[in-house]
A and B are shown apart, each in its own frame.
Chain A
Amino acid sequence: MNLRLIKQRFMLHLDPVLLSGLGALLLVSLLVLYSASGGNEMRVLGQLGNIAIGFVALWIVANMPLHWLMRIAVPIYVLGMLLLIGVALFGEISHGARRWLNLGFMNFQPSELMKIAVPLMMAWYFEKHEATLTMKNYVIATLLLLMPVALILRQPDLGTSILIAASGFYVLFLAGLSWRVIGGLLVGAAASAPFLWNMLHDYQRHRILMLFDPSQDALGKGYHTIQGMIAVGSGGLLGKGYMQGTQTHLDFLPERTTDFIFAVYSEEFGFVGNLFLLGLFAFIIGRGFMITASASTYFTRLMAGSVTLTFFTYAFVNMGMVSGILPVVGVPLPLVSYGGTSMLTLLLGFGVLMSIHTHQRLVKT
């Protein structure tokens, strides 16, 4: 096989359009990480490693035929649930939360696995009952969603549970959950809000309260939000320049390489930079919608739509919390924030999207 053929085989199940969007965003990530870490090459190399692992996973999943995906949906979901229960019973406690499972050789966070497993399971379930969808199926699907969400919420991990709840809800919505039920759920949610409020941990309540008035506790819980807003606002139209952000480089900004990396970017590249970044996200999401719209089966449509919308939710919640319109819930900026696990699950998701896109293309031709 010559080089061209190797390349062809390699690219066979990848989508060059989506790939270029992801590549651009990952380049931005490396660039901003270098500044956010104060010029630390190790951080950049670490992220490069995360990308490499994530990309291998993406390539593998993208090359999986769709029926494989369908076949692994149930086992992965069951495994994930078992692990979540394991975490609840034997998990490692770190920073006051029980999220990790010590596997001896590595710490593993099963909730990350569920970001893919839950929509996969629900899409599989709807595909199974496509012809005879009744109210009962929606209820069971909802239960499939709520069980892991409740377990993760108890860890506690508000950010992840929101993202998983969102990904599951998108499946329900795209599967045609009737507007009347959605309306009823909204009313119900509003009515049960006080009850849910009591379920939340103190720190979660605090974070929600800070949304309304971060200055209330400027040195405590509101500090993150205020410093983030100052960083974004002081960036101005054109930004302070690469490596020139004072909020970033003088340590005022917390969690610069992870949850608050958007503030670093905004401070240094300004409003114009944000236009570019949002454009990049819009491009990736737009491509995701195109793949969703052209997906051939019920399962693939639901799965592609959920992955695309969850990716958007990630981005929106993160940028919203950094710019002070959403509470700080601990959601990273997808593909930009430093972090191996989220990089892996996100790229896995895009692998699913590419598999859906390339395999049906092959089917068509």
Chain B
Amino acid sequence: MTPHAELKNHQRERYLFSLRLVFCLSFVGLLMAILLARAFYLQVWKHEYFDTMAESNRIFVVPIVPNRGVITDRNGRVLARNYAGYTLELTPEKIKDLNATIAEIGKLVEIKPKDLRRFKKLMSERRSLQTLPVKTRLTDEELARFAAQRFRFPGVEIKARLFREYPLSETTSHLLGYIGRINQQELDELDKKNLAGNYMGSDYIGKTGIEQRYEKEMHGVTGFEQIEVDAGGRAVRMLSRTPPQSGKDLKLTLDAGLQEVAEQAFGDYRGALVAIDPATGEILSFVSKPGYDPNLFIDGIDTESWDALNNSPDVPLNNRALRGQYPPGSTIKPFMALTGLHFDVRSPSFSISDPGYFMLPGSSHRYRDWKTSGHGRVDLFASVVVSCDTYYYGLATELGIDRMHEYLDQFGFGKRTGIDLEGEVSGLLPSTEWKMKRHQQIWYPGDTVSAGIGQGYNLVTPLQLAFATAILANDGVAYKPHLVKEIQHAPNEPQAAPEPLYDLHIPAEHLALVKSAMQAVVKPGGTAVGAFWGVGYPVAGKTGTAQVIGIKQGEKYDAEKVSEYNRDHAWFIAFAPADKPRIALAVLAENGGHGGSTAAPIARKVLDYYLLGKKPKPLQKVVEKEGVEDD
């Protein structure tokens, strides 16, 4: 190899090396460009996305649950309130052996079998990572004992919570309803309405009654705290706070004192009572007997209590005032009388001679009057006072069912009153059209006859009957029945006074006649004289009896022979003072028999209390006056 060749070789080698180096340089440049592009992509192009991610990493939103609105009666007496208390709550996901943990807790804090049963029920319907109360309302001593040992119980925490309480318990159960833990179905529902955010920290929601209907108003607006947390979830500092807005307080139209009197007046009877201020539609009393303790439901009712309520033959969970449907019986007669006068089918002076039964032309079927011997000569006034069935058999037949439907419809029969409670039923006011639609049958003349005394297909709820009575008491001007008088508002915010729904324009002489007949019902010769003996204000009323079982031709109903639950229901409707009514009501005593002897005394106590402020003595037996009977 010559030096020359070696040099050339050397040069060529350097040249090749330089090529490789240039290649490396370009490769480095390319990768640098990729890094730069990546940085641009992350930091400029997708910056907003990652910024949001970083923010949600560090910012933890803690909901602040608003206080639920308080419910008071019209006089400011508290019916539903909140109180602070401590609960012991478990997060099942964080606990290995649930039973062992609960057993250990049981050594420190008394856990009743009832608490355990409720806890099991909650377990079966819980949402994931929800904390469940194993013991509510800890005493101070229990609180101290557990707090000292809490390090032994991971996944168990003491929580301060606001509890709902219904001080009147059963007395207001059917109108207030109750709140309970939010279940999955309600959560989905809230989600659909875009309200899930407002319920982030809430455990409870109104389930029935006023609590359900005014959920939106009473829940309030959930506040939020934005807290900066580190990767371990520890709070570092508070970034912002949006205070919660408390739920609005409700002032009901209810008179709690009246409600208590009414409830007690029922004694052992099942039934319902609705009392309305006829001039406004304000509901003064709303009773369904028996009631139940709504406080049981708040943290989930235990199975035993639930079974007891659900399987009781008295059906305490049924809201009879709102959802119970009964034949109105003779309480329909004042309204029938007005219908007859309205269509000019009866004049005040027209009278019949009552043989004790009614027969349709061309038929031998006897529609019996409750008084088998008959009432003798009966005009419209007397027909109401003695509750003559025969008079109304004939009147109904001449009116025809469709004219009855047309006029009675305006008193609210057969349709919902629109009260501010969920689940109202409509009752039934029959017509030919209805029967064809419902039963694919034509209307028979016999159907009309029994409809004339409020039997047959007719069904009313106690609320409906009270509404109809209020319309009559208020001279045909109807106000929608309602339970809420005021929703909490700013002092200067104008509040709408109740507006009348409509006016039936009943001629004054018709009203005067029917009202005076109803006043005579509580006087000697009337069907409710016993209950209103010595009453200190003018009262107008009407008794009624709703058959529970049918009675065959030629047989006589004997209360002693039929079982308790098959006995007739007793009705009484009334308003007082008759000349300027301040209260109108309907009372139903289930299986109470005669309206005059069981339902009317209840009404008397309620009216006495409301108009005279007289509190009935508990356990005072009503003396029944013999000889006055309803159909």
Residues of A within 8 A of B (CB): 170, 173-174, 176, 227, 229-237, 246-247, 250-252, 266, 270-271, 274-275, 278, 281-282, 285, 289, 292-293, 298, 301, 305, 309, 312, 316, 319-320, 323-325
Contact = CB atoms under 8 A, between A and B. Distances in A.
Contacts of B38: 320, 323-325
B19 to A, nearest CB: 9
A236 B53 CA distance: 13
B17 interface: yes
B32 interface: yes
A278 B32 contact: yes
Given A271-B44, A309-B24, A312-B28, A266 B39 contact: yes
Contact of A247 (B21, B42, B57): B57
B150 interface: no
Contacts of B50: 229-230, 232-234
A271 B28 contact: no
A298 B38 CA distance: 37
A152 B375 CA distance: 118
B20 A271 contact: no
B212 to A, nearest CB: 40
Given A285-B28, A312-B28, A246 B57 contact: yes
Given A289-B21, A323-B35, A233 B57 contact: no
Interface string B216-248: 000000000000111110001000000000000
B559 interface: no
B31 interface: yes
A278 B35 contact: yes
Nearest to B57: A252
Contact of B54 (A176, A247, A292, A325): A247
B24 A232 contact: no
B622 interface: no
A173 B20 contact: yes
A324 B231 CA distance: 20
Given A234-B50, A251-B230, A266 B20 contact: no
B46 interface: yes
Contacts of A251: 230-232
Contact of B44 (A230, A236, A247, A285): A236
Nearest to A281: B32
Contacts of A319: 35
Contact of B17 (A176, A233, A235): A176
B228 A236 contact: no
Top 3 A-B pairs, shortest CB-CB distance: A233-B50, A234-B54, A251-B231
Given A234-B54, A246-B57, A309-B24, A270 B35 contact: no
28 contacts: A173-B24, A176-B13, A227-B57, A230-B50, A230-B54, A231-B54, A232-B39, A232-B50, A233-B51, A234-B50, A236-B43, A236-B44, A246-B54, A247-B54, A250-B230, A250-B231, A250-B236, A251-B230, A251-B232, A252-B58, A266-B43, A271-B44, A285-B28, A289-B24, A305-B24, A309-B24, A309-B28, A320-B38
Nearest to B53: A230
Interface in B49-92: 49-51, 53-55, 57-58
A271 B24 contact: no
Contacts of B535: none
A203 to B, nearest CB: 22
Contacts of B57: 227, 230, 246-247, 250, 252
Contacts of B54: 230-231, 233-234, 246-247, 252
B43 A271 contact: yes
A266 B44 CA distance: 12
Contacts of A274: 36, 39, 43
A271 B51 contact: no
B18 interface: yes
B25 interface: yes
A306 B53 CA distance: 40
B2 to A, nearest CB: 14
Given A234-B53, A246-B54, A275-B36, A229 B42 contact: yes
Nearest to B20: A174
B10 to A, nearest CB: 10
A292 B21 contact: yes
B34 A233 contact: no
Contacts of A232: 39, 42-43, 50
A323 B39 contact: yes
Contact of A270 (B25, B43, B228): B43
B47 interface: yes
B492 to A, nearest CB: 46
B40 interface: yes
Given A252-B58, A305-B21, A309-B24, A233 B229 contact: no
B16 interface: yes
A27 B192 CA distance: 57
B47 A237 contact: yes
Nearest to B9: A131
Given A176-B16, A234-B50, A285-B28, A271 B231 contact: no
B605 to A, nearest CB: 68
A129 to B, nearest CB: 13
A234 B55 CA distance: 9
Contacts of A278: 32, 35-36, 39
Given A233-B50, A252-B230, A319-B35, 18 more contacts: A173-B20, A174-B17, A174-B20, A176-B13, A229-B50, A232-B39, A232-B43, A247-B54, A247-B58, A250-B230, A251-B232, A252-B54, A252-B57, A293-B21, A301-B17, A312-B31, A323-B39, A323-B42
A320 B35 contact: yes
A254 to B, nearest CB: 9
A176 B12 CA distance: 12
A233 B24 contact: no
Interface in B483-540: none
Nearest to B40: A271
Contacts of B42: 229, 232-233, 323-324
B622 to A, nearest CB: 73
B43 A316 contact: no
Contact of B35 (A247, A298, A316): A316
B32 A233 contact: no
A242 B537 CA distance: 87
Given A176-B16, A250-B228, A233 B49 contact: yes
B35 A289 contact: no
Contacts of A305: 21, 24
Contacts of A250: 57-58, 228-231, 236
A305 B21 CA distance: 8
Contacts of B53: 230, 233-234
A236 B21 CA distance: 35
A109 B143 CA distance: 57
Contact of A237 (B44, B46, B230): B44
B323 to A, nearest CB: 52
A150 B36 CA distance: 33
Contacts of B40: 271
B21 A174 contact: yes
Given A232-B42, A293-B18, A325 B36 contact: no
A293 B15 CA distance: 10
Contacts of B43: 232-233, 235-237, 266, 270-271, 274
A275 B228 CA distance: 31
Interface string B378-404: 000000000000000000000000000
A247 B229 CA distance: 11
Nearest to A174: B20
A298 B10 CA distance: 10
A22 B163 CA distance: 67
Contacts of A316: 31-32, 35
B39 A271 contact: yes
A285 B35 CA distance: 15
Contacts of B47: 233-237
Nearest to B25: A289
Contacts of B13: 176, 298
A13 B71 CA distance: 90
